[in-house]
Structure 1
Amino acid sequence: MLIGEVARHSGVSPRMLRHYDALGLVRPTGRTVGGYREYSAEDVRRIFHVESLRSLGLSLKQIGRALENPSFTPSALVGDLIRWTEDRLARERELLGRLRAIDASAPAGWQDVLRIVELMQGLNSASPARRLQTVLARPEGVSVPVGLLADAVLAESDPNVAGALRWALARSGGDGVAALAAGVHAEDVDIRRRAVLALAGMSEVPGVAAALADALGDPDPTVRGRAALALGRRGVTAAVPALVGMVVEGSSDVDAAEVLGTLSQDPGCAVRITTALVDELAAPAADSATRIRLTQALVELPVTSVLEVLRQLAHDDDPAVALVASAWVGVLDERSAEDRGDEDS
């Protein structure tokens, strides 16, 4: 089979076939009387082998080594190809992110493009000081793509830089909520923690509450706790179970108890919270320290809801719990007497 016919059947150009011949990769078995290359069926099969390996990303040099060495094992090379491909995809995703950030900024000219590129370089600097300066020293009137800020928030590990980024993102409005909401579902727990912390600082921006609610079931107590505190401070009663759980676990339990106290201003919610705390007090697995925290959390609720419960706890079999409850009963009785005196006067 002559080179033109091989090219038609294989889809490999005559020029590339000559290149394969020059490299010794696929040499035609014979020559015609006129000196033209003549390929055998085995030569054509080897061409298809070469093309198959090229489709996997192997270089021609690697292909030659693979085909000539009978003891060659492909596993190591395939492993290398996987790593190279993953690296290339990561670089391309990074490039795509940069291009989208530039596009989102709606540049009016190349000066705007260069300004965004400079901003991205600053945010990606290995120096925390430079990253911080990039956020704080932004010229007035220069807008920063919100998606770029959100991505930087999710990636930032330095607490000072992270705080500045969250501040900048909060000032930008609600456009960053979608990126942060995606961060709530990230596999990396650090990204989820950063996402929830940033969302918690975005006040009443639409979509924030829904994103935080998704984090209430997170397996990480820090993620779950930050979401519960932020939602509870917004009056979202769905956070009650997570807040009670924080008291039980001793994770920011003082803050959780204070938020429960705020939520309990609603009488219906006060009953729900009181019941939840009392149920945890009666749980067989609750140790002395846990029951003391639960007792102290009860004190944050309206006196009318918890005074009788505390009086019962003042006679608890656990002396430490009884002591704490007795002390608070005295304080609350005195407070109630003062309130009645004020009403009478």
Structure 2
Amino acid sequence: MTIPKQDTTTIRALQGLESSSSSIRLQAALAVGTTPDPQFIDTLIDRCAIEPEFYVREMLTWALTRHSASMTVPKLLDEVRSERARARSQALHTLSKIGDRQVWPAITRALLADAEDEVARSAWRAAVVLVPEGEEPELAAVLSTQLGRGERETQLSLSRALIALGEVILPTLRAAMKDLDPRVRQHAVATERLLRNPDAGFEFAIDEAKRIVALGRTSQEG
């Protein structure tokens, strides 16, 4: 990477973002976010697409949110269309933290059903933050097509996203409780239980849902 004439602190931060040490990358991202400068934006976004450490990615996202949204959002929207799953996932995550609802059209059905769980989960979280008022029922219907997907971590992410939409999800969940796929029915029941009792915990809710589905009962039947 060709670095133009810059002060020593800037050069050190840019080099730090590319260090093999995760702790150095973390400190570099912190420094960049503490003293934001537009010249860092491209490097931050490029690093997000390949950064293996979760806590470093979180700091990179924080650093991006410290810069002007007018400069970061267009570049992040480009990343949402990337062929690299991590680039899509982290861009979506960062957009959700920025919270600019004008990017809502970029949260497509394709992203919400992305084959990569990491991307889909980021898309679900971004969607519930950015959804325009009044479009929550439609979003709930789209999200419900992913019920039963993946392992516990992915299912919990979807349940949390749905629950964040509030009671508008109930009609959709009740329809899903009649699905032919028992995994879909179980996930729908567990999500409804968590909506009613957030303190229950997902493991308890999913185990209870399995019993309910095995007995052929829905929440409407008791």
TM-score (structure 2 length as normaliser): 0.70
Partners of 1:111 and 1:259 in 2: CA distance: 43
Q: Any conservation in 1 of the 2:124–2:161 contact (CA below 8 Å)?
A: no
1:186 and 2:82 equivalent? yes
Match of 2:148 in 1: 248
Aligned mates of 2:177, 2:33 — CA distance in 1: 56
Q: 2:12 aligns with which of 98, 118, 143?
A: 118
Q: Any idea what SS the aligned residue of 1:125 has?
A: coil
**2:189 match:** 295
* Equivalent runs, 1:73-222 vs 2, <5 Å: 94-95=1-2, 110-112=5-7, 115-138=9-32, 141=35, 143=37, 145=39, 146-174=41-69, 175-202=71-98, 204-205=99-100, 207-213=102-108, 215-222=111-118
Q: Secondary structure at the match of 1:149?
A: helix
Distance in structure 1 (CA, Å) of the matches to 2:33 and 2:184: 52
Q: Secondary structure at the match of 2:52?
A: coil
Query: Judging changes above 3 Å, is the alpha-carbon distance between structure 1 residues 317 and 147 closer, same or farther for their aligned structure 2 residues?
Result: closer
Code of the aligned partner of 1:170: T
Q: Which has the higher contact order (CA 8 A, sep 6+)?
A: 2
Relative to structure 1, the CA distance from residue 144 to residue 129 in structure 2 (aligned partners, 3 Å threshold; closer, same or farther) is farther
User: Aligned with 2:143: secondary structure?
Assistant: helix
Alignment of 1:267-306 (within 5 A): 270=168, 273-284=169-180, 286-287=181-182, 289-299=183-193
Tell me, which stretches of 5 or more residues in structure 1 are unaligned? Answer: 1-93, 103-109, 303-315, 330-345
Structure 1 position 167, deviation (Å): 0.9
User: C-alpha distance in 1, partners of 2:147/2:195?
Assistant: 14
Q: Paired residue for 2:199?
A: none
Which residue identity is paired with 1:221?
D
Structure 1 residues 124 and 257, CA gap change in structure 2 (3 angstroms): closer
Alignment pair present for 1:229 and 2:98: no
Look up the SS of the partner of 1:155 in the other structure: coil
Letter in structure 1 aligned against 2:65: A
The alpha carbon displacement at 1:155 in A equals 2.6
Matched, 1:260 2:154: no
How has the CA–CA distance of structure 1 residues 262 and 135 changed in structure 2, closer, same or farther, with 3 Å as cutoff?
closer
1:149/1:165 contact within 8 Å kept: yes
Deviations 1:199-251 (A, max 9, x none): 2222x235443333472243323312321222224444253234213432256
Cα separation, 2, equivalents of 1:154 and 1:276: 34
Instruction: Write out per-residue CA displacement over residues 124-153 of structure 1, whole angstroms, 9 at most, x where no aligned residue.
Output: 222222212222245965635223322222
**Larger Cα-atom Rg:** 1
After superposition, the CA RMSD in angstroms is 3.4
Picking from 139, 148, 154, the partner of 1:239 is 139
